[in-house]
Amino acid sequence: MTPETIEAHGVRLRPFRPADEADVVAGCADPLTQRFLDGLPSPYTEADARWWITEGAPAAFAAGGAAYAVADPATDRLLGTIGLSHAMPPRRQAEIGYWVHPDARGRGVATAATRALAERAFTDGIERLELLAQVENVASQRVALATGFRPEGIRRGGGRARDGGRRDLAVWVRLADDPPGPYPRLLPDLPGGRLTDGVIVLRPLGPEDTDEMYRLNTSPDVVASRVPPGPPAREEIVRRSVGAAHQWLVGTVASMTILDAASGSVAGTCMLLHDQPGGQGMLGYSLFPQWRGRGFATRAVRLLARWGFEQVGLARLWAGTLPENQASRRVLERAGFRYEGLLRARLPGAEGSRGDSTVYGLLPGELRD
């Protein structure tokens, strides 16, 4: 690509100028940019910005990629940067990346710039664009969805963190002949960010829930009915909490935290596992002992089931329990689920054993209030 100005979708992509120095410093020194963008000097100084403007950005074009300033067409003020890197001409492939100035976030700048640069890249002969984001970088993955990129999986340890460790990267890809976007969501956001019946609240599971989820999943009574048996490692709970938003965005699992509406205390967790080809979903739930016996699990199942039928568009929901777990079976029956059978030796047990599982099903119109 050549460093010519591109104007499209309400933004201007242009070469960097000396006047951009202060805005480049403000953007690259911002904690959020530092957290999610590999390789930035820390602290980021005026000298770093001058090097980028005079040497770094021009070198990106010379290497077969691109490095543009994203500017406001009305004022020409820098709003962020966007570019192409890791160009592989034989494969007609490159990686797209960006950051947005703190004052310009929430205005669709990254989405507009990504659309504009992707269109130009495809016009210039690129056939495959990759967008990589740390798994916990939800905002960047929403940009990917909005601009027609599709999820392709996780690149384990694909990025480096400030502490010297490695971070998993979510891989999003758009081909030249893919529709421009947005890519359809299989699991929509919760209306208003939560579900509630006035007694409990369901909100998306997040990293802030790690400690409570570890405490819940290592409690003896939860471990006793866990599959596979045994307490989880804390690292497993961390990955689950950090990656929950990614799983929701790619349409595989909607994991939620159950809160007591009056106090805001964490009462437990629930989830909907989406079986997209089959048009159905599986429900799961768990409560802390002190919140049991209050109907919280039944309320959570009802809220989750209604959202699954009305918002996700599922044709069927199902859930399984251990045959001896009478409390869980009563929860499902109170919500309208019907017993459908017993799957023998379905679940892995302790020391190589196998356990049976009941199966309950629910169809639209059968949900009980």
61-120 pLDDT, tens per residue? 999 999 999 999 999 999 999 999 999 999 999 999 999 999 999 999 999 999 999 999
Spatial distance between the Cα atoms of 175 and 161, rounded to a whole number of angstroms: 29
User: CB-based burial of residue 238 (10 Å sphere; 0-12 exposed, 13-18 middle, 19+ buried)?
Assistant: middle
What is the model's pTM?
A: 0.92
Residue 228's pLDDT is what? 75
DSSP class of residue 190 equals P
Closest CA relative to residue 260, chosen from 222, 291, 298: 291
CA-nearest of 120, 117, 32 to 82 is 117
Reported as a pLDDT band with limits 50, 70 and 90, residue 3 is confident
Render pLDDT for 212-224 as a digit per residue (tens, 0 to 9): 999 999 998 888 7
User: Looking at the predicted structure, is the pLDDT value of residue 163 above 80?
Assistant: no
Distance CA 214, CA 161 (A): 24
Q: What percent of the chain has pLDDT over 90?
A: 88
In this predicted structure, the answer to whether residue 369 has a pLDDT above a threshold of 90 is no
- Asked if pLDDT for residue 140 goes beyond 90, the answer is yes
